[in-house]
Structure 1
Amino acid sequence: MKIKQYRTQFIKELSPFYDAYEAESFFYLILEDKHRLRQIDLALNHELNFFEKDFIVWNSLLAELKKEVPIQYLLGKTSFYGLDFEVNENVLIPRPETEELVEWIINENKGSSKEIKILDIGTGSGCVAISLAKNLPNAKVYAIDVSKKALDVAKINAIKNNVDVTFMLKNILELEVLKSDYDIIVSNPPYVRNLEKAEIKKNVLDFEPHLALFVDDNDALIFYRKIAELAQKNLLKNGQLYFEINQYLGKETKEMLEKMNFKNIELRKDIYDNDRMISCKVSKTL
């Protein structure tokens, strides 16, 4: 069968689950991953064919996509901030909104000539820590996660992207103080409340790790408050704290930081015009 014909069939079979644009994007992601062929290659040569053995792979992937398994997990990889990352069911799939947080940190620190110590709390796949290490040559980057399986993925990604990141297995909620001081602490902690589950797509709700996603409705800022408390003790003078936040809790997160006497608090929106990230400095007179 010609590849172009199969593409039409592939998109049609996925139409009950995804819109045509998304289904087509899946087709080309698989085509490049499995056959090293790009969209332009197919456009230039309409006569390209699949062999019989190819359908075993494609039909297997098609069946999983119909279950709404994320394409990134099926291929075992994704892109983030121009870098390649391995992903599996033990880590969240990196989002474009998180790239904006990384961009913010890089833009505010890329001109620094001194060594910058950075701690990423809840690193998951390592996408934030690794992207910062790759783009800030003067940075010494550390990363914490409560999941050993997540850290195993992050360590692979650090090697893949040729950066040096120190990974630590810790439960942030059990720490009273960090063992070192930092210029920057960044975190994209769990922030989705159970009451928001109805808004979450099946491919996220059924397949991505709930440990990294959800918090109790009655204490939605538990991680932010704990990390802010640690930042008060372990951020150096003029040190910066950065968070990715729940879009519905921007006001509440800002008020919490104000009550904790942080200064220079800045709340930013993401590309979708949602409150998505916040930065502040610790008040120290040292």
Structure 2
Amino acid sequence: MKIKEYRSQFIQVLSPIHGEGEAESFFYLILEEKRQLKRIDLALDPELVFSNEEIVVWNWILEQLKLEIPIQYLLGKTSFYGLDFEVNEKVLIPRPETEELVEWIVKENSKTEGFKGLKILDIGTGSGCIAISLAKNIPNATVYAIDVSENALATAKRNATLNEVDVTFLSQNILETEDLNQQFDIIVSNPPYVRNLEKQEIKKNVLDNEPHLALFVEDDDALIFYRKITELAQKNLSENGRLFFEINQYLGKEMVELLTEMNFKNIELRKDIYGNDRMIRGTI
């Protein structure tokens, strides 16, 4: 079958579920991954064909996409901050909003001279996207990363190898941690922050497939991770050390109050590209 003919069928089947634009983007993502062909290649050679074996693979992927399985899980990879990351059902798929958090930290530190001893800790690392991106983009930084999930840590370690960076990964339940046992210049975290009452706002493909352990908190204690991490940061940040969080868009005011109560200064709340309160920083 000609690839362009399969493309039309593929988009027609998925458009009612995902929308035509997203269905088309799925097609070209898979085409590049499975056949190393870009949109321009197909435009230049419309007679290109799929083998019968290829059609079997594509049909299986199509069925999974009809079930709203995330394409990143089907391909086993995604891009984040210009780097490739392995992803699977044991880790969250990195989001563009988290790239903005990384960009904030990188811009503040990448050109800092004489900062050879800069130590960074990422709490709840998941796929390792934050820790690895910081290690790749901040010269001379020493980066540590914590997660409670052994499966997530295994994925993060593979991603560190893939991106040729050194990150020290630690298996640890942050809620049961009383002291981090060393000082850090930067502590960053994107912990679980979606309240159960907000589940109806979550897309089906996320709700049905991504790990709930990394997503949800109880309605009556939505800041449980933030409170604990902030307490640890008080003890384990160096002088003028900084604490960065990705946050629930509805709890920006509460996060400012939390950092204020914990005696952080230079507190800055930032919005993401969608205009939602999404990131906060405080200095000890």
Aligned equivalent of 1:33: 33
Aligned equivalent of 2:249: 247
Aligned equivalent of 1:179: 181
The range that moved more, 141-150 or 51-60, is 51-60
1:190 aligns to what SS in structure 2? coil
How far is 1:225 from its partner?
0.4
Q: Structure 1 residue 215 and structure 2 residue 217: aligned?
A: yes
How far is 1:203 from its partner?
0.6
Aligned equivalent of 1:96: 96
How far is 1:260 from its partner?
1.2
C-alpha offsets along residues 86-120 of structure 1, whole Å, 9 cap, x if unaligned? 00000000000000000000000112222210000
How far is 1:132 from its partner?
0.2
How far is 1:16 from its partner?
2.2
Aligned equivalent of 1:225: 227
Among candidates 225, 241, 262, match of residue 260 of structure 1: 262
* Partners of 1:42 and 1:182 in 2: CA distance: 50
Aligned equivalent of 2:193: 191
Aligned equivalent of 2:151: 149
How far is 1:261 from its partner?
1.1
* Partners of 1:184 and 1:16 in 2: CA distance: 45
* Partners of 1:226 and 1:52 in 2: CA distance: 55
2:267 aligns to what SS in structure 1? strand
**TM-score between the two structures when normalised by the length of structure 2:** 0.98
Q: Structure 1 residue 66 and structure 2 residue 86: aligned?
A: no
How far is 1:61 from its partner?
0.2
**TM-score between the two structures when normalised by the length of structure 1:** 0.98
* Partners of 2:92 and 2:106 in 1: CA distance: 22
* Partners of 2:111 and 2:201 in 1: CA distance: 40
How far is 1:2 from its partner?
1.0
How far is 1:52 from its partner?
1.2
* Partners of 1:41 and 1:251 in 2: CA distance: 50
1:138 aligns to what SS in structure 2? coil
Aligned equivalent of 2:51: 51
Aligned equivalent of 1:168: 170
1:248 aligns to what SS in structure 2? helix
* Partners of 1:169 and 1:217 in 2: CA distance: 27
C-alpha offsets along residues 34-87 of structure 1, whole Å, 9 cap, x if unaligned? 101011101111111111111110000000000000000000000000000000
* Partners of 1:148 and 1:271 in 2: CA distance: 32
Q: Structure 1 residue 204 and structure 2 residue 206: aligned?
A: yes
Among candidates 133, 136, 141, match of residue 139 of structure 1: 141
C-alpha offsets along residues 106-161 of structure 1, whole Å, 9 cap, x if unaligned? 00011222221000000000000000000011200000000000000000000000
Identity %: 72
C-alpha offsets along residues 226-246 of structure 1, whole Å, 9 cap, x if unaligned? 000000000000000000000
* Partners of 2:152 and 2:195 in 1: CA distance: 22
Structure 2: gaps (5+ residues)? none
**Deviating 4+ runs (over 4 angstroms):** none
* Partners of 1:43 and 1:137 in 2: CA distance: 42
* Partners of 2:27 and 2:111 in 1: CA distance: 41
Aligned equivalent of 1:18: 18
2:46 aligns to what SS in structure 1? coil
